[in-house]
Structure 1
Amino acid sequence: MALLRFDHVSKQYPGGFEALSDISFDIDPGEMLFVTGHSGAGKSTLLRLIHLSERPSRGTVLLEGKNLAQVKTRRIPFHRRRVGVVFQDHRLLMDRSVFDNVALPLIIAGVPRGEIGKRVRTVLDKVGLGNREKALPIALSSGEQQRVGIARAVAAQPLLLVADEPTGNLDPNLAAEIMQLFASLPAQGTAVLIASHDLHIVRRLQKRVLVLDHGRLIDDYRPASSP
C-alpha cells in the first residue's frame, strides 16, 4: 500500500485562483523524491496539504490509507508527529536553545529523556551544529537556523518528511551534505519529499521527480537508477 496518495486533488483559493489542479500520485514507504517547477507552480501548496496547513478543494489525500480530510482540527498535532516538515521560514522558538528546539517534538511524543539527548546531539552533529546546542536561534545566521529546522524534523524520525526548499540559504557544499542526510533517511524507514528549484541537486541525486507547471502535474520522472 502507498504511504501517501493524492487522488485527483485540486486546491482553489478565494477569488478563483487554482494553485493545484487534478493532481494524482503515490509515494511508497521509504521513498525519496523531489517536486519541482517554477515559482508559483504549486510546490508549497502541495506540501501544505500533506501537513494539513491547508485542505484540498477537491479530491482526496490519503496517508496510510486514511483520508486526511477526516482528521479533525484537534487531531492535527498528532498527525504532525508522523509527518515532519522543514519550513522555508524555520519557525523556531527564539526564546529556546537550539537543543530545546530540536528536542521539543520528541518531548511531545513522549520519547524517554535519555533517548532525546542522544537523538538531538546525533542529528545536530550531522547538520554541523554540534557546538551550538546552547545557542539561541536569534544568535544564528539564517543558514544555521535552517539547519536547526532540518535537525528538528529529522530527529523526530517521522513516517514522511516534507521539506520546502531546504537548502535555499545554504552554501553549495553544505547543501550537498544536507541532501545526503535526507538521502540516508529512507534506509531508516522515512519517506522524503523535497520541493526544490535547484535542478543541479535534483539531477545529481538521481531520484524520482514530480514536475509541476501552473498547478498541474506535467511529469513524473523516474531515473533508471531510482529505487
Structure 2
Amino acid sequence: MPVLRFDNVSKQYPGGHAALAEVSFAVDAGEMLFVTGRSGAGKSTLLKLIQLAERPSRGAVLFDERNLARVRGGAIAAHRRNVGVVYQNHQLLMDRSVADNVALPLVLRGIKRGDAGKRVRSILDKLGLAARERALPSQLSAGEQQRVGIARAVVAEPALLIADEPTGNLDPALSTEIMALLAALPERGTSVLVASHDLGLVKRMKKRVLVLDQGRLVDDIAPEDLVDE
C-alpha cells in the first residue's frame, strides 16, 4: 500500500499562479525517491501539501490512504508527527543542546524522558554525533548541523521523511554523506522523498526521479533508466 499518493492534485495561489497542475504519483512504503525541476517548478509547494502547510485547490493528497482534506484542527499536529522534515537551513533551536533538539519530536509525543533519552542517544550514535550531544548547534560544523536535523526528523520513526534541498549548503563530499544517511532510512521502515535541483547528485543516487516543470509532472524516471552524463 502506498504511504503517500497524489491524485490529480492542482494548487492555484491567489492571483492565478498555478504552482501545481494535475499531479499524480504514489510513494510506496520503504521507497526513496527524488523530485526535481527548475526553481519555481512546484517542488516546495508539493512538500507543503504533504505537511498540510498548504491545501490543494483540486484533487486529493492521501497519506496511508487517508485523504488529508479530512484532517483538520488538532489532527493536523498528529499527521505532522508521522512526517519527518529535513530543512536546508536546519531550523535548529540555537539555545538548546544537540540532544534537546533531537528529543523535541519525542517530547511533543509525550514520550517519557528516560525512553526519549535512550532513543536520542541511539540515533546520535548511528549518525556519528554521540560525542556532540551536549554541544550547542553554533559549536557544530555545517555537516554536523545537517546530521542533527536528520536525527531530529527520524528519531520518532515517521512513516515518511521529506527533505527540501538538504544538501543545498554543503560541499560535494558532505552532500554524498548526507544522501547516504537518507538512503539507509527505508531499510528501517521510513520512506524518503527528497526535493533537489542537484541533477548530478540525483543521478548518482540511482533512485526513482519525479521531474516537475512549471507545476506539471513531466517525467517519472525509474532507477534503471537514469543515464550518467
Structure 1: how far apart are the matches of 2:50 and 2:223?
24
Q: What are the Cα deviations for residues 173-223 of structure 1, in whole angstroms up to 9, with x where unaligned?
A: 222122111111111111100001112221111110000011110000012
Aligned to 1:75: 75
| Cα shift at 1:142 | 4.4
Cα distance in structure 1, aligned partners of 2:19 and 2:60? 16
Q: Are 2:210 and 2:221, in contact at CA under 8 Å, matched by a contact in 1?
A: yes
The runs of at least 4 consecutive aligned structure 1 residues that moved more than 4 Å come to none
Task: Give the number of aligned pairs.
Answer: 226
- In 2, Cα distance between equivalents of 1:106 and 1:150: 14
1:143 shift after superposition:
4.1
CA contact (8 A) 1:3 1:27 kept: yes
CA distance in 1, matches of 2:224, 2:145: 36
Judge conservation of contact 2:88–2:167 (CA < 8 Å) in 1: no
Q: What residue number does 1:213 align with?
A: 213
Check the 8 A contact 1:36/1:211 in 2, yes or no. Answer: yes
Q: Which residue of 1 is the match for residue 96 of structure 2? A: 96
Task: Compare 97-106 and 170-179 and name the one that shifted more.
Answer: 170-179
Whole-angstrom CA distance in 2 between matches of 1:141 and 1:223: 32
- Deviation of 1:164 (Å): 0.3
Q: Equivalent residue for 1:198?
A: 198
Q: Is it true that 1:45 corresponds to 2:53 in the alignment? A: no
Deviates more, 1:102-111 or 1:206-215: 102-111
Give the letter for the 1:7 counterpart: D
Query: Match of 1:182?
Result: 182
Structure 1 stretch displaced more, 123-132 or 96-105 = 123-132
Structure 1 residue runs without a partner (length 5+): none
Residue 9 of structure 2 corresponds to residue 9 of structure 1: yes
Contact 2:37-2:211 within 8 A present in 1 as well: yes
Q: In structure 1, what is the Cα distance between the partners aligned to 2:169 and 2:54?
A: 25
Question: Share of identical aligned residues, percent?
Answer: 67
Q: C-alpha displacement at 1:129, in angstroms?
A: 3.0
RMSD: 1.8
What is the TM-score normalised by the length of structure 2?
Answer: 0.91
Write the letter of the residue equivalent to 2:33.
L
Alpha-carbon distance, 1:108 to partner = 1.9
Can you give the 5+ residue segments of structure 2 that lack an aligned partner in the other structure?
none
TM-score by structure 1 length? 0.92
Aligned to 1:121: 121
Per the TM alignment, residue 144 of structure 1 is displaced from its structure 2 partner at its CA by 3.5
